[in-house]
Structure 1
Amino acid sequence: MTIDKSNCPVPFDQQPLNEYLSLKKNCLFSWSLSRVKIFIYGFLLIFFTLFLVMGSLLLPFVYNYSIFKILSLNLVVSSLLLLCVFIRLYLGWSYILKRLLSATIFYEESGWYDGQVWVKTPDYLTQDRLVGFYQIMPGLVRIKYVCFILIISFLFFLSCYRLL
């Protein structure tokens, strides 16, 4: 599924399809595009791991607080860190999606000073758009929804922390 160098002047690592394949090899990024059940289990695993680690790090500093205030502070910090992880996922996949859906590709052959633009042929454009729409777009929509839920939960936990 890689692009042949003879038909494309873009360096191998800067070709959108190859960028997609290399990002998909990353454990965190490949998890974000997996099936819904695996995605939810991974989400819960990351959240509870962050919750336990942040709880053990915060406990020595806030031992004078009530247990509910410590718990709500832990939830605030854990949801904020998880939101940062999902923002990173969103930014990575949206960059690849933008390059896959674009009809032109900006690339640099040897450095920052010699940028060029390559117009994709219809075959490459069709292949890239199919990958973008059917492989990345559903995962990107899922990541958006999770970010929205995490923002709401962060604000809720923050308000609970302030009330206590």
Structure 2
Amino acid sequence: MFAPKNVCPVPFDQQPLNEYLALKKSCFFAWSVLSLNKYMNTVFSIFILSLTFIIPVTWILFYNKMSLLYVFFYSILAVNIIFILLFIRLYLGWSYIVKRLLSATVFYEESGWYDGQIWIKTVDILTKDRLIGLYEINPYIKRIKYSLLLCVFLFLLESIILYLI
């Protein structure tokens, strides 16, 4: 995936396609590009695992102050906040990569913050990058957006239920 220096002066690790491949292989971002079934299983597994660790913490914090129902609702609320932060991080990471892939120019640094350069992509590289951005990454971004919106909706619903109880 490395473009020759005479075609692309951008360092290897700052080329948008290589950034995409590195992000796709990273541990945190890799599960967000799984098939929909595996993605849902992973989200459910993380939910159950988080809830398993959060319930004892909320039980200790609210011991003898609230009923078990309140402890359970506050635990779910805490896990939901964790999920909102997690999906925001996923969204920001993928949207940064797709922005660099879809852009006709690439800002890069050769050796430090003081020598930033801008490289204009060739037609071939721009076409390939835009195809990858539009048809591979955008569906993942939409999935993350829907997951984030669902978590925010559930957070608001749980907050209303806790207020009414």
Q: TM-score, normalised by structure 2?
A: 0.95
Taking only aligned residues, the RMSD between alpha carbons, in angstroms, comes to: 1.0
Q: CA deviation at 1:50?
A: 1.1
Displacement of 1:99 in angstroms is 0.0
Equivalent residue number for residue 155 of structure 2: 154
1:160 Cα deviation after fit: 1.6
> How many pairs are equivalent?
164
Larger deviation: 46-55 or 116-125? 46-55
| Per-residue deviation, residues 33-54 of structure 1 (Å, max 9, x unmatched) | 1110000000101111111111
Counterpart CA distance in 2 for 1:60 and 1:77 is 14
Q: Which 4+ stretches in 1 moved above 3 angstroms?
A: none
The SS at the match of 2:38 is helix
Q: CA deviation at 1:162?
A: 2.1
Alignment of 1:122-141 (within 5 A): 122-141=123-142
Moved more, 4-13 or 67-76: 4-13
Paired position in structure 1 for 2:57: 57
Could you list the per-position Cα deviations for residues 22-43 of structure 1 after superposition, in whole angstroms to 9, with x for gaps in the alignment?
0011122121011100000001
- Identity between Structure 1 and Structure 2 (%): 47
In structure 1, C-alpha distance between the alignment counterparts of 2:15 and 2:21, rounded to whole Å: 10
Separation of aligned partners in 1, 2:125 and 2:159: 48
* Structure 1 portions without partners, runs of 5+: none
Q: TM-score, normalised by structure 1?
A: 0.96
